[in-house]
């Protein structure tokens, strides 16, 4: 029996983590660990919510989530951006779904109606309730900011500005040749993986597995450790890989020639990732949402430059999808191994898996109290 199951506490761990060793396997299967992650990590960090163009026009909104907290982002008729907890103050029903344009938000359970600023406008039969004060029953606020074509939210309404989380990320992306401001939203995809959220992201944070598990990818991107660059900049962990010369000559799964000259993969603590493939102007951004100890939803939004043809878009998405399918098989196998409780702690390869070490240390610092 795992110690967390026996005591109801997060399994203990020494801080800082011992160099070269992973988090305990029990941290990937204990409900107590996830509960702490939801409250100590996801409830107070910036996370990607959705495309900014969904709330470009006054009167528009879209529903999203931050960890396990439902949120809705709105643009009021006055043009002001709002982030709100998408939970009715009456009985907890979710208020908004999807992305629409409306004058108000109305809960479908009992028709409590809110303005796009979150204020309670109408509660049926409220006049029958002595002391009912609508001003005390607004939707709760969350911090909301736009960066380029993206909306980010933070359940902590008093959070420090988003720029403090992003650090030099905009400059790093510009080095690829990508014009972030020119991107346009293209499509939305969701993947369900039967793994712990950390299992999924730790796979993302290393390309040590690429030569073995992603042969098609490795024919396009040079993953040799001498040229595949890893970096840690505050809350951003990055991987940058050059295009193989043979791929530029046509010996690859897709044509990587174009204005974007390198691959870039950025992780923004705690669960946002950005992927840039060499070739035309393209970017995909993801949030990895833990829905349970061993269930993660990978939500992906694709963006492309306005002049990129559908043929090239299809080519990039197909390339990305092949790699993603290979990764799902990998992480689900890892999760089964972790759940077996046979290998209680793994050995990291310090040079190639340094971003995993940085990620795991941040997780441990957040919840090992």
Contact present, 344 and 24 (Cβ < 8 Å) = yes
**Which SS3 state, helix, strand or coil, does residue 327 take?**
helix
Q: What pTM was computed for the model? A: 0.95
- Domain 47-158 bears CATH identifier 3.40.50.450: no
Tell how far CA 287 is from the center of its chain.
2
Q: What's the chain's length in residues?
A: 369
Tell me the pLDDT tens digit for each residue of 234-266: 999 999 999 999 999 887 778 999 999 999 999
Tell me the pLDDT tens digit for each residue of 292-335: 999 999 999 999 999 999 999 999 999 999 999 999 999 999 99
- Residue whose entry in the numeric block shows the structure tokens 């990818």: 217
Contact present, 196 and 293 (Cβ < 8 Å) = yes
Bridge pairing between strands 272-276 and 21-24: unpaired
Contact present, 2 and 30 (Cβ < 8 Å) = yes
**What is the C-alpha to C-alpha distance for residues 364 and 46, in angstroms, rounded to an integer?**
18
Measure Cα distances from 129 to 121, 126, 133, 134, 226 in Å.
Answer: 16, 5, 9, 11, 70
187: which residues sit within 8 A by CB, 6+ positions away?
A: 301, 302, 317
Q: Please give the full DSSP string across 78-106, using - where no structure is assigned.
A: TS-EEEEE-B-TTT--B---SEEE-SEEE
Of 236, 197, 201, 207, give the one whose Cα is nearest residue 349: 207
pLDDT surpassing 70 at residue 177: yes
Tell me the pLDDT tens digit for each residue of 187-221: 999 999 999 999 999 999 999 999 999 999 999 99
**What is the C-alpha to C-alpha distance for residues 169 and 152, in angstroms, rounded to an integer?**
15
Confidence band for 10, pLDDT divided at 50, 70 and 90: confident
Measure Cα distances from 233 to 164, 238, 317 in Å.
Answer: 11, 8, 28
Residue 250 pLDDT: 81
With vertex at residue 244, the alpha carbon angle to CA 243 and CA 247, rounded to the nearest 5 degrees, is 95
Residue 9 pLDDT: 80
Residue 6 pLDDT: 46
Contact present, 194 and 334 (Cβ < 8 Å) = no
Tell me the pLDDT tens digit for each residue of 108-149: 999 999 999 999 999 999 999 999 999 999 999 999 999 999
- 365: tokens are 């610092």
Tell me the pLDDT tens digit for each residue of 48-62: 999 999 999 999 999
Residue 8 pLDDT: 62
Confidence band for 7, pLDDT divided at 50, 70 and 90: low
Contact present, 139 and 85 (Cβ < 8 Å) = yes
**What is the C-alpha to C-alpha distance for residues 54 and 63, in angstroms, rounded to an integer?**
10
Helix axes 354-367, 31-40, angle to 10 degrees: 90
**What is the C-alpha to C-alpha distance for residues 174 and 120, in angstroms, rounded to an integer?**
43
- 31: tokens are 């409900």
Question: What is the domain partition of the chain in residue ranges?
Answer: 47-158, 168-367
Confidence band for 45, pLDDT divided at 50, 70 and 90: very high
- 237: tokens are 């962990």
CATH architecture type of domain 168-367: Alpha-Beta Complex (3.90)
Q: Is 142 buried (19+), middle (13-18) or exposed (0-12) by CB count in 10 A?
A: buried
Please give the average per-residue pLDDT across 216-232, as a whole number.
96
Across the chain, mean pLDDT equals: 95
Tell how far CA 197 is from the center of its chain.
10
- 319: tokens are 């390339």
Residue 312 has what DSSP assignment?
Answer: H
Confidence band for 3, pLDDT divided at 50, 70 and 90: very low
């Amino acid at each position: 029996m795992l110690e967390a199951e026996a005591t109801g506490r997060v399994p203990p761990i020494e801080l800082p983590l011992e160099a070269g060793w992973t988090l305990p396997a029990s941290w990937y299967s204990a409900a107590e660990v996830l509960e702490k992650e939801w409250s100590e990590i996801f409830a107070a960090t910036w996370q990607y919510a959705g495309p900014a163009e969904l709330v470009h026009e006054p009167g528009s909104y879209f529903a999203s989530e931050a960890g396990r907290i439902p949120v809705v982002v709105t643009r009021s008729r006055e043009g002001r951006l709002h982030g709100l907890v998408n939970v009715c103050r009456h009985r907890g029903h979710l208020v908004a779904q999807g992305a629409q344009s409306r004058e108000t938000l109305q809960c479908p359970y009992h028709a409590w109606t809110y303005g796009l600023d979150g204020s309670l406008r109408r509660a049926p039969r409220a006049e029958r309730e002595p002391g009912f004060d609508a001003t005390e029953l607004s939707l709760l606020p969350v911090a909301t900011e736009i960066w380029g074509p993206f909306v980010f939210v933070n359940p902590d309404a008093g959070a420090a500005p988003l720029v403090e989380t992003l650090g030099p990320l905009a400059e790093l992306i510009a080095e690829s040749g990508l014009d972030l401001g020119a991107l346009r939203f293209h499509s939305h995809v969701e993947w369900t993986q039967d793994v712990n959220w950390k299992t999924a992201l730790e796979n993302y944070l290393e390309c040590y597995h690429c030569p073995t598990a992603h042969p098609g990818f490795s024919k396009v991107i040079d993953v040799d450790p001498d040229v595949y660059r890893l970096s840690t900049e505050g809350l951003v962990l990055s991987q940058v890989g050059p295009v193989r010369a043979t791929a530029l000559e046509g010996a690859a799964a897709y044509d990587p020639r174009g204005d974007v000259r390198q691959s870039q993969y950025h992780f923004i603590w705690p669960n946002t990732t950005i992927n840039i493939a060499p070739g035309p102007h393209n970017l995909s951004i993801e949030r990895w949402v833990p829905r349970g100890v061993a269930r993660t939803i990978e939500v992906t939004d694709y963006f492309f430059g306005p002049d990129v043809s559908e043929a090239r878009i299809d080519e990039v998405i197909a390339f990305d999808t092949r790699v993603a399918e290979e990764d799902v098989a990998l992480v689900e196998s890892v999760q089964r191994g972790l759940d077996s409780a046979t290998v209680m702690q793994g050995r990291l390869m310090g040079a190639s898996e340094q971003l995993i070490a940085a990620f795991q240390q941040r997780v441990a610092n957040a919840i090992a109290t």
